[in-house]
Structure 1
Amino acid sequence: MIIPVLLAGGSGNRLWPLSRELYPKQCINLTGGNQTLIQQTVSRIHACKLSQDPIIVCNNEHRFLIAQQLTELGASGEILLEPAARNTAAAVALAAFEALERSSAAKILVLPADHVIEDTEAFCAAIALADALADEGKLVTFGVVPSYPEPGYGYIEATQYGEVSSIGAFHEKPDVETAKKYLAAGNYYWNSGMFLFPARVFVDELKRFEPEIYEAVAESIATKYVDLDFIRAGESAFEKAPSVSVDVAVMERTDLGMVVPYRGDWNDVGSWSSVYDTQSKDENGNVVQGDVILHDTENSFVRSQARLVSAVGVTDLAIIDTPDALLVMNRHRAQDVKEVVAQLKASGRSEHRRHSVVYRPWGSVETVNIGTHYQVKHVMIKPGARIALQVHHHRAEHWIVVSGTAEVTVGDKTDILRENESVYIRVGDVHSLRNCGDQPLDIIEVQTGDCFGEDDVVRFTNNYLPGEF
């Protein structure tokens, strides 16, 4: 029994401004198709005829977003919430312990949820090869056969070149000259971060080499609990786990490690340069996504989410436009985007963390306009969903129904509002809102006052966590 495990943590800082902390790259359609990266990963699992529902390890802030990804795909899965960021060894251990509760003979196929792989046939063939090794108790990693000397990836040194091999060593990201030597040697692979383990063997090896991680995760799983559609691992126990990668914790130290070569296409789309590499180009070497007009422009990547973007007389640029942020950079400086994100964090801004559209369990909120004493927002509420009963002491709100049917409670009075109808909520009015129809409810919300933050919200009912209504 192979149970797929999708690692869906991380925020993809180098893909800012499209990827944000609250809307990470695995939930974004980066490649111009009709699926996000995590949806593509789930689809590959199904194409390989792996029948077990995946275990998806993600953090608390992304849980509803991940659930939405599965719903849109018509897929099911077990969403396991990682209480804190503790690197991949603890995350994989969580999934391994969970898999063992399904079957003592479970094998786990560990896949980052944000890779681009088009050659599904080669991917499935590599899994079949690794599966036979896992049946022998081996811990298998997948090495991507390199096509060029890439300094941005780690490398796996195999003891021999061929179909399968024991692992000689893991190497961190090299400089270009070293990468060229690796390529010429023929027994070096790109480290894909994909694995196939017998779950019991993995946790036993983890206990042998990293007992602190083993004990912390074992206790965390023992104290897990169900929250709505999610499984929450025990928080206090998990936080005791040291932050170590799977490679360092187990794979570099075990004598059970094997590497299976993957010869198909693969890209971890970790930067705008790598996204550019995955796309087909026009006759001038350009990649265009969205409403874009180019003139005398070469070897550039231009993406627009909402408005028209044009470029004239430029070369080797990446231009990424979102409703609240624009990135213009030399395409070969893609690794430096994280420096911009660091500056945003240091200055206390919010653009590194969230988009102008913020997704909630009940729907979404889009900030349309902000002034000194007002904000205008587009609120979408899913059918049957509601916002909490709440009160504001420093701002008033005016709701206008654009489409759908709203049940509005203000004080002791409840009314039904339909398209083009509105309600005014004064400072101090206790109020709530529910979509009582079977279609999305769209509302324009105009807030006026002196305080618009979470510190001016007092909630009386809430099925979720603070800040989600």
Structure 2
Amino acid sequence: MLFCPSDHHIPDTNAFATMAQQGISAACQGAIVTFGVVPSFPSTAYGYIEQGTSNDNISFSVARFIEKPTADKAEELILQGNMLWNAGIFLVQAGTLLTAMEEHAADILQSCRQAMGQATQDQQFVRPEPEAFIACRADSIDYAVLEHHKKMAVVPFSSAWSDVGSWSAVANLCSPDKQGNRIDGQGLAIQSERTYIHAPHRVVVTLGTQDLLVIDTPDALLVVASSHAEQVKTVVAQLEASETPEAGIHRKVARPWGWYDSIDRGERFQVKRIVVKPGSSLSLQKHHHRAEHWIIVSGTAMVTKGTETFLLTENQSTYIPIGEIHRLENPGKTDLEMIEVQSGSYLHEDDIVRLQDNFGRA
């Protein structure tokens, strides 16, 4: 089993595949094999792995894991010459991992076994038993298992790698211009130096800036000095503490049947762009506080409204009064796209009474 974080940037696919293959021998001998990136500078953003003795001139024993260091400590580690960045990627036989879990995190393993032993399935979803899953202790597998396991091995990786863990790391994925500016999207840096602009949705202009990161998204705008890029997590914590909705809710929201994008909203209205995948349907539902207008943009909609069921196609529309039972389905072979205009005194997502749902939602 090869475990890989989903947000890493590794441009050389062949080098990555070779690295994984180099760990197979040690994994087959019962080791949990980690992969360490040969460091190119003294980073404080990564944990480190100290290489021990060589096993087969390919993998090495793990002498110790080191938490993210201070700047001075990071320089000391680099100078030792046997340090690797911990990439968070590891290779292990399933049986080895289960045995290690039994030894070092038996409570987590037991909770998972209970949750999956009583799991239910609807369509493509496997749903662990909720109470057992929620009761499971939350911990990183690094802390819970890997740092305590005796038979660990590490394979060095010398190709390009980034965990894209900060906006500075994201910026480094773009090629700089002569002034060191990096642009992603519709950015324009005028008389600026070492400025990064992330602008996928609209034009963003900087004038006379230096060492700035400007990140424009549909949810929020972030302007941060490059020297403070690693501290963005403190901003998120403050937004969560102040219960700012954007800290946890995106404008575009994925759903089992497709997605919706909240285009605009006011005191008594909200406008959504809704896309339903072929063969999918929303729940049979009603609302106590809002009415809805549906306008079909493309595709075909099967609409249930009260006791009626009918088809709507491009440029057709319907009105769903407050309290009316309704459902939207896509019987076609292409995406169904529509605009929904909600109006009423309360427009939050918890004003949904689901009477029937294909995805097991309450």
User: TM-score, normalization: structure 2?
Assistant: 0.92
**In the alignment, is the contact (CA less than 8 A) between 1:139 and 1:257 conserved in 2?**
yes
Match of 1:427, SS state, is coil
**Secondary structure of 1:149 counterpart:** coil
Question: Residues 110-259 of structure 1: matches in 2 within 5 Å?
Answer: 110-160=3-53, 163-259=58-154
Matches within 5 A, 1:53-92: none
Shift of residue 346 of structure 1?
A: 2.0
Task: For residue 202 of structure 2, give the secondary structure of its aligned residue in structure 1.
Answer: coil
**Does the Cα contact within 8 Å between 2:122 and 2:360 map onto a contact in 1?**
no
Where 2:164 maps in the other structure, the secondary structure is coil
- Does the 8 Å contact 1:405/1:441 carry over to 2? yes
Structure 1: segments with no counterpart, 5+ residues:
1-107
Higher relative contact order (CA 8 A, sep 6+): 1
Q: Secondary structure at the match of 1:159?
A: strand
- Relative to 1, partners in 2 of residues 1:393 and 1:299: Cα closer, same or farther, differing over 3 Å? same
Cα 1:242/1:437, change in 2 over 3 Å: closer
Counterpart of 1:255 in structure 2: which amino acid?
A: K
2:259 aligned partner: 364
Match of 2:206 in 1: 311
**By how many angstroms is 1:284 displaced?**
1.8
Q: Per-residue deviation at 1:466?
A: 4.0
Instruction: Describe the shift of the 1:217–1:429 C-alpha distance in structure 2 as closer, same or farther (beyond 3 A).
Output: closer
How far does the alpha carbon of each residue in 1:188-222 deviate from its partner, in whole angstroms, 9 at most, with x for none? 11111111112212221322233323333343443
CA deviation digits over 1:23-66, x for unaligned, max 9?
xxxxxxxxxxxxxxxxxxxxxxxxxxxxxxxxxxxxxxxxxxxx
Q: Deviations over 1:320-354 (max 9, x none)?
A: 11123111111221122222222222222221222
In the other structure, the counterpart of 1:344 is 239
Deviation at 1:160, TM superposition (A): 4.2
- Which segment is superposed worse, 403-412 or 111-120? 403-412
Match 2:308 to one of 413, 416, 439: 413
Q: Residue 319 of structure 2 aligns to which amino acid in structure 1?
A: Y
Q: Which amino acid aligns with 2:296?
A: V
Match of 2:317 in 1: 422
Deviations 1:211-253 (A, max 9, x none): 3233333434433443322333444334444333333333333
Could you tell me whether the CA contact under 8 Å between 1:281 and 1:287 is conserved in 2? yes
Contact kept, 8 Å, 1:117 with 1:265, in 2: the verdict is yes
What residue number does 2:223 align with?
328
Q: Residues 394 and 231 from structure 1, CA distance in 2 versus in 1: closer, same or farther, beyond 3 angstroms?
A: closer
TM score, norm. by length of structure 1: 0.72
8 A Cα contact 1:273 1:332, kept in partner:
no
Aligned residues: 360
SS of structure 2 residue aligned to 1:183: helix
Moved over 6 A (4+): none
Work out which of the residue numbers 261, 269, 277 in structure 2 matches 1:374: 269
Question: Alignment RMSD, CA only?
Answer: 2.1
CA distance in 2, matches of 1:174, 1:402: 54
Aligned to 1:271: 166
One-letter identity of the residue aligned with 1:371: G
CA–CA separation in structure 2 for the residues paired with 1:303 and 1:247: 32
Compared CA separation, residues 422 and 155, structure 1 to 2 (3 A): same
Partner of 2:191: 296
Hey, which of these two has a bigger chunk of helix by percent? 1
SS in 2 for 1:369: strand
Given that 1:160 and 1:187 are in contact with CA atoms closer than 8 Å, whether structure 2 keeps it comes out as no
If each structure's strand is expressed as a fraction of its own residues, which one has the higher value? 2
Match of 2:263, as an amino acid? Answer: V
Q: Say whether the 8 Å CA contact 2:174–2:184 is kept in structure 1.
A: no
Q: What per-residue deviation string (whole Å, max 9, x for no partner) do you get for residues 392-437 of structure 1?
A: 2222222222222222222222332222222222222222222233
Shift, 1:313, TM fit: 0.8
SS in 1 for 2:148: coil
Give the equivalent residue in structure 1 for 2:293: 398
Counterpart code for 1:435: N
The Cα of 1:125 is off from its aligned counterpart by 2.1
> Which amino acid letter does the alignment assign opposite residue 113 of structure 1?
S
